[in-house]
Amino acid sequence: MEEDISIDLRILQSHLDGMLSRVKHNSLTLKRLQAFEMRLLALSSLTEMIDFILDETKLLFDLEIVSLYLFDPTNDIACYLESDHYPYKDRQGFMLVESDALFKKFFDYSHKPLLGIYHPENYEQFFLDGDQIPSSVILAPLIRRGKYIGSLNLGSHRSDRFIHTMATDFIEHLASVLSISLENTLNFETMRRTSLFDPLTGVNNRRFLEQRINEELDRSLRTHQPLSCLFLDIDYFKCINDTHGHQAGDQVLSQVAGAIKKQLRSNDVLSRYGGEEFVALLSGSDESIALEIAERIRSSIEALLIQFGGQEIAVTISIGAATFIPGLNATKSVADTARELINTADAALYQAKNKGRNRVENRSGILSTLDLQKA
């Protein structure tokens, strides 16, 4: 009798020890999760958030594999990341998808995480890149206002790490926090870029240029690479407005901006400076490259025929070019040099206008001996 009681007590003690161990483990996990959330909420950019989620979630849950899929039906996220020069296509574990069919197929309308043994036929599409293959997985949908915005996908080399009977409270809570943070960050990115964006032409505006040129000059100093600036002006634009109307003028602005963008590289920056004027920053481009790009732009605009109201509108453009090459004399601030670079390109544009328009002019040597002191 006493022996039976002793056995029962040992069993009970074992259960209690197990419960206490789980409580301690859950308490530690909760503290780590709270610290994770505080750091997550402090992030202000989309690129920081993507890196943080992919890298820190591994540490939080002691995992080998983490992937983040985001629903991007309008290609906005891709555009944001490209404009920030973030190599999202090469980022291991990150994927943009244009359709939410994948999420609907797996999560249906339960909006609950899926977990269990990894079967390639079921889960391979959530772990497409990398050489590591998980043994067990958990897929957590990211949802806002009843709609899928993506999924957080975790993989472990342990087959018993994620089993279908385990509780999913922590991962559901984390997915909820991630969903809110991602939505807020995307809204912030949209507002930020809208304030720096020209809605008519679809390119950046002057405010964006004034911020970006300082960044490009800083980069030029760090890398000892030149920075070229093109100042572009549509010829006889007032005449186009007077002859064909302002709607035709808007069409010309939009199509010319599109034609210019096609001749630029992915790391070049195009902004509408005002009216019919545009400015392009050509990172890492010396004078010869800048003039080559400028001539390509001029030629493509000359060949452009814009259809409006049953008429064809011919357009030409004049371009002024200037190049900054870091030199030896630390005589100017970044802000002063930015103004001088734009003004020099503008002066070259003035020459192009005076020489008959539809041409490229260059102001050589003006900035070639300058170096910068940070403002």
- The set of catalytic residues is 276
Given a contact cutoff of 8 angstroms between Cβ atoms, the answer to whether 83 and 121 are in contact is no
Residue 202: other Cβ atoms inside 10 A: 13
Sign of CA dihedral 104, 106, 109, 115: negative
- In this structure, are residues 333 and 373 in contact, taking their beta carbons and an 8 Å threshold? yes
Contacts of 101 (CB under 8 A, 6+ apart): none
Whether the CB-CB separation of 244 and 309 falls below 8 Å is answered with: yes
Cα–Cα distances (Å) from 151 to 36, 98, 100, 104, 127, in that order, read 18, 13, 10, 11, 12
Q: Which residue has 């943080």 as its token pair?
A: 52
Helix (H) or strand (E) holding 120: helix 120-123
Place of tokens 């308490």: 27
Q: 156 has which bridge partners?
A: 136
Helix, strand or coil, per DSSP, at residue 208? helix
Give CA–CA dist 224/64, Å, rounded. 39
- Whether the CB-CB separation of 324 and 342 falls below 8 Å is answered with no
C-alpha separations of 61 from 75, 87, 168, 170, 171 in Å: 31, 26, 13, 10, 10
CA dihedral 345, 351, 355, 359 (to 10 degrees): 0
